[in-house]
Structure 1
């Protein structure tokens, strides 16, 4: 199943001091699922240490 691509809008991300795009909780909620990558602002409660939500 292909996942829907959601283009980022204002407030969906910011740039870290290293220049990386950091997605906000707003973007994650709009996307609608957890990618299980341990994102900094994940609203789904994924814990990369236990590999569980």
Structure 2
């Protein structure tokens, strides 16, 4: 399996409210902490993407605040 969902083998270990939350439309939104700990950008333009530039698959450059 490749792409964004290739790292979803962890899904049983995710903690709602820590690693993700559900938005009003029912989508799982990953937290900045989870995305930062994952270590790379998936390229999907996540709401809380900690990488710069945003939405560049494989990017590991963290943005500075």
Scaled by the length of structure 2, what TM-score is found?
0.58
Q: Quote the Cα distance in structure 2 between the aligned partners of 1:17 and 1:31.
A: 25
**Which residue of structure 1 lines up, in the alignment, with residue 38 of structure 2?**
31
Q: Which of the two has greater helix per residue? A: 2
Residue 9 in 1 paired to residue 25 in 2?
no
Q: CA RMSD in A?
A: 2.6
Give the gaps of 5 or more residues in structure 1.
Answer: none
Aligned residues: 50
Task: State the SS of the aligned residue for 2:43.
Answer: coil
Q: Quote the Cα distance in structure 2 between the aligned partners of 1:40 and 1:17.
A: 14
Scaled by the length of structure 1, what TM-score is found?
0.68
